[in-house]
Amino acid sequence: MTPSLDCRIVLVRTHYAGNLGSTARVMRNFGLSDLVLVDPLTSTSEVEARRMATHGLGILDSTRVVSDLGEAVADCTFTLATSGLAEGIFRRTFVGPPRAKLPDLVEASRAGPVALVFGPEPHGLSNAEITRCHGLINIPVNPEATALNLAQAVAICCYELHLLAAPREEVNFGIAPFEDQERMFEHLRQAFEKIGYLFGTRADGLMHAMRHLIGRAKPSPQEVKLLHGLARQLLWWGSQQTADAPDE
């Protein structure tokens, strides 16, 4: 399912060709296609870039190269920088994890293109570059190892964006009518009595607990049929035991 927004991936001064290819591949995975490189130190024509771009060669081939971050995002309505470092006055003021920052990007995409900006592998984006964006994403990781691989960071952000832009619809089977549930509970009561689960003074209390347990699940019509099947099998098994019992 393709996200219903125009989100650009911007890589600034990327050093390693493999990260270009891996980024193109993950973009294809999550339905993105607009890749822009700012002053790269490698090329999309490198063998390693081609090798890592499985199913994403089309994105790699259409990649645009520009010399400045401003040129890369000139037409964007909203941009989010990314960094493994969240400390410092420039960063703390507008930093957050992907799930906190990406909703603003999705909202802004209604007005035009948006962008996620990733820095070079050795040290990431500079403070000057970060402050040119509208917010900063920091992916929570082990504090003893905060630096993610560039392509892995792109993958995480694209995944979180995909969840927001193209949510999966939950299947709702509905809740069985009261009358159908009552028949099912009566059927189960007969079955439980047959196998000796309900007996004596505790029978009503146990059945009440069973009704509460099943009722909290708000059973669908299909699930009510399933429980009827359970009751029928228990009744059959109880009848078999009675038939096999020795005569006294």
**What per-residue confidence (pLDDT) applies to 2?**
44
Segment 161-182 mean pLDDT: 81
CA dist., res. 243 & res. 167, Å (int): 55
Tell me the pLDDT of the chain averaged across its residues. 91
Q: Give 53's pLDDT tier (boundaries 50, 70, 90).
A: very high
CA dist., res. 162 & res. 28, Å (int): 12
Segment 165-187 mean pLDDT: 82
The amino acid occupying position 196 is G
Contact between 115 and 7 under an 8 Å Cβ cutoff? The reply is yes
Query: CATH code for 7-165?
Result: 3.40.1280.10
**Each residue's pLDDT tens digit, 201-231:** 989 999 999 999 999 999 999 999 999 999 9
Domain 178-244 in this protein, CATH class: mainly alpha
Residue 242 has pLDDT above 80, yes or no: no
**Each residue's pLDDT tens digit, 131-155:** 999 999 999 999 888 889 999 999 9
**What per-residue confidence (pLDDT) applies to 172?**
66
**Each residue's pLDDT tens digit, 66-86:** 999 999 999 999 999 999 887
Residue 234 has pLDDT above 60, yes or no: yes
Number of Cβ atoms within 10 Å of the Cβ of 202: 10
Higher pLDDT, 191 or 166: 191
Higher pLDDT, 247 or 220: 220
**Helix-helix angle 178-194:221-244, to 10 degrees:** 20
- The Cα angle at residue 74 between residues 150 and 44, in degrees rounded to 5: 40
Closest alpha carbon to 4 in 110, 134, 104, 115: 110
Contact between 115 and 76 under an 8 Å Cβ cutoff? The reply is yes
**What per-residue confidence (pLDDT) applies to 147?**
84
Question: Which sequence spans correspond to the domains of the chain?
Answer: 7-165, 178-244
Residue 14 has pLDDT above 90, yes or no: yes
**What per-residue confidence (pLDDT) applies to 3?**
46
Residue 170 has pLDDT above 50, yes or no: yes
Number of Cβ atoms within 10 Å of the Cβ of 159: 13
DSSP letters, the chain, are ---SS-EEEEEES---HHHHHHHHHHHHHTT--EEEEES-SS-TTSHHHHHH-TT-HHHHHT-EEES-HHHHTTT-SEEEEE-S---SHHHHTSEE-HHHHHHHHHHHGGGS-EEEEE--TTT---HHHHTTSSEEE-----TT-----HHHHHHHHHHHHHHHHSPPPPP------HHHHHHHHHHHHHHHHHTTSS-GGGHHHHHHHHHHHHHHT---HHHHHHHHHHHHHHHHHHHHHHHHSPP-
